[in-house]
Amino acid sequence: MELGQLFLELGGVIMLLALVGRAAGRLGITPIPLYLLAGIGLGAFMSLGNAPEEFIHTGAEIGAVLLLFTLGLEYTSEELSGNLKANRQIGLLDLALNFTPGLIAGVLLGFTPLAAVLLGGVTYLTSSGIASKILRDFGRLGNRETPLILAVCVIEDVVMAAYLPVVAALLIGGTLVAIGMNLLVALAAFGLAFFLALRYGHVLSRVMNVPSDEALLLGVLGLVLVVAGVADQLKVSAAIGAFLVGIALSGEVADRARRQMEPLRDLFAAVFFVFFGLQLNLAQVPAVLLPAVLLTVVTGATKFAVGWIGAARAGVQIRGRFRAGTTLIPRGEFSILIAGLGLGLAPSLGPLAAVYVLLTAILGPVLSRFDAQLAPLLDRNKPPKNVSAPGPT
């Protein structure tokens, strides 16, 4: 392909993403579902050349890595350890209530056992990106329910950090001995990296904290990609390797790295969602629409229950419980990432996950936005409006 044609096609895709992002801002919703729709539309009505598709594919892989790296930057090792200890019961409840429906749905839909496990992962994970956007856009970062929301997201991220290496080893397949060795290597590599990130992250932070912003950007990006590459070679998820680098960095260097990397993350994350949408066949969507709607209803209720119960245990009032539950409903970037691993196992897993993510990514923010109107409906102690208080006797 000629260079001019390559630039024209890539430029057109990026301009489309810019328009989609502006539309999402005007609607007050996360752009993730619109990026997916843009990818589906491009796949249905346009035919990109091989070179743009290869660039978008590589960009999508980088996007997944940067998403988890910047997520890891949000947590210090102390916060991670504290959250795991303080909220482990809510974390177990979340796992039981939200992984199980996807697993059962996969079995009922006739998926292979491994594909059903992947669908369980799709329904389990709240989108940390959408949840943080809801908290930030609605001015709720200082609310009493916010620590509970963040704790659930942290626990889910840690579970995913162990879940993805196991799934990656199983996807490789082979004999039982080979699968066992792959699992052993993957879990050992993850455990060692997790230990090093928690124990010696401060040393890495000092080494990376150079005065030049340019040198910091290049150094951090290079480190993230190298660790992601090593993790992938060891059959651990590349994205989880990047997540552990994010956890290891703390203090000033983490703040500076976050500011430097966010524009790159936003660009490549958008490419990631478009690439997933490009892989979908619109003809498959009607067949998965009903299962996606049913999964949205069931797992929307179960995720809401997790937020409600957790906030109630923390002494949060009705509106705060409602906000906690609805903020946890959206699934997003990592549900799509997990579904992408299983496209070869169950062709309908990709369309099902995409429709499911679209529905939950819209439902959660809309319900959360109208907490003042909807939360009182769940307050059993509130007297009806037409009943007046009894007068003195």
Range from 155-169, 293-307, 354-368 carrying the lowest mean pLDDT: 155-169
State residue 388's pLDDT score: 46
Range from 184-188, 320-324, 367-371 carrying the lowest mean pLDDT: 184-188
Residue 88 pLDDT more than 90? Answer: no
Whether the CB-CB separation of 231 and 241 falls below 8 Å is answered with yes
In a domain, 153, yes or no: yes
In a domain, 251, yes or no: yes
Question: Rounded to whole angstroms, how far apart are CA atoms 6 and 49?
Answer: 8
In a domain, 5, yes or no: no
Taking the model in full, what pTM does it have? Answer: 0.73
CA–chain centroid gap for 54, Å, is: 24
Residue 267 pLDDT more than 70? Answer: yes
Which one is predicted more confidently, 48 or 204?
204
Which one is predicted more confidently, 362 or 356?
356
Q: What's the whole-number average pLDDT of the chain?
A: 82
Selection from 76-80, 133-137, 256-260 with the highest mean pLDDT: 256-260
Handedness of CA 177, 178, 182, 188 (dihedral sign): positive
Place 387 in a pLDDT band, splitting at 50, 70 and 90: very low
Length of the chain: 393
In a domain, 383, yes or no: no
Range from 8-22, 135-149, 164-178, 209-223 carrying the lowest mean pLDDT: 164-178
Place 237 in a pLDDT band, splitting at 50, 70 and 90: low
pLDDT digits (tens, 9 = 90+) for 294-322: 999 999 999 999 999 999 998 899 999 99
pLDDT digits (tens, 9 = 90+) for 187-205: 677 677 777 777 778 888 8
State residue 389's pLDDT score: 45
Identify the residue whose tokens are 């056992």.
113
For the chain, what is the domain count? 1
In a domain, 142, yes or no: yes
Q: What is the CATH number of the domain that holds 101?
A: 1.20.1530.20
Range from 82-91, 179-188, 374-383 carrying the lowest mean pLDDT: 179-188
Which one is predicted more confidently, 132 or 21?
21
Which one is predicted more confidently, 310 or 60?
310
The DSSP code for 283 is G
Domain region containing 122 = 10-370
For the chain, the straight-line distance linking the first and the last C-alpha, in angstroms and rounded, comes to 90
In a domain, 1, yes or no: no
Residue 391 pLDDT more than 60? Answer: no
Q: Look up residue 106 and give its amino acid.
A: G
In a domain, 351, yes or no: yes
